[in-house]
């Protein structure tokens, strides 16, 4: 269950970064005026920051989620 949350959280964080880069890309390509780009980033940026903060807080509170399953199985089993 935790591994799925990790994957979903990383996907969402990556998608946020891609959306912000897309907005910048549209501005560079001439699709947005400077005022439109700043407004879009001003509205979307804080929203994404809130979600991303919650995702990273979860990962910090559950560090075992980041470790690989192989490491977890070695730690829980006593093999010679």
- The more confident residue out of 36 and 55 is 36
- pLDDT band for 38, please (50, 70, 90 cuts): very high
36 in a structural domain:
yes
CA-nearest of 24, 18, 3 to 67 is 3
Assigned domain for 45 exists: yes
Who's near 48: CB < 8 A, 6+ residues apart? 16, 19, 20
Which comes out higher in pLDDT, residue 55 or 64?
55
Q: Flag whether 17 is in a domain.
A: yes
The whole domain housing 13 covers 9-63
Number of structural domains the chain divides into: 1
Asked if 16 and 62 touch (Cβ cutoff 8 Å), the reply is no
The answer to whether residue 70 sits within a structural domain is no
- Separation CA 50–CA 11 (nearest Å): 15
- Could you give the CA distance from residue 37 to residue 2 in angstroms, rounded to a whole number? 36
């Amino acid at each position: 269950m935790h591994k799925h949350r990790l994957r979903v959280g990383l996907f969402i964080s990556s998608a946020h970064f891609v959306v912000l880069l897309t907005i910048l890309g549209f501005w560079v390509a001439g699709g947005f005026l400077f005022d439109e780009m700043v407004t879009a980033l001003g509205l979307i940026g804080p929203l994404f920051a809130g979600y991303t903060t919650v995702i990273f807080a979860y990962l910090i509170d559950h560090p075992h989620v980041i470790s690989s399953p192989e490491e977890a199985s070695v730690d829980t089993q006593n093999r010679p």
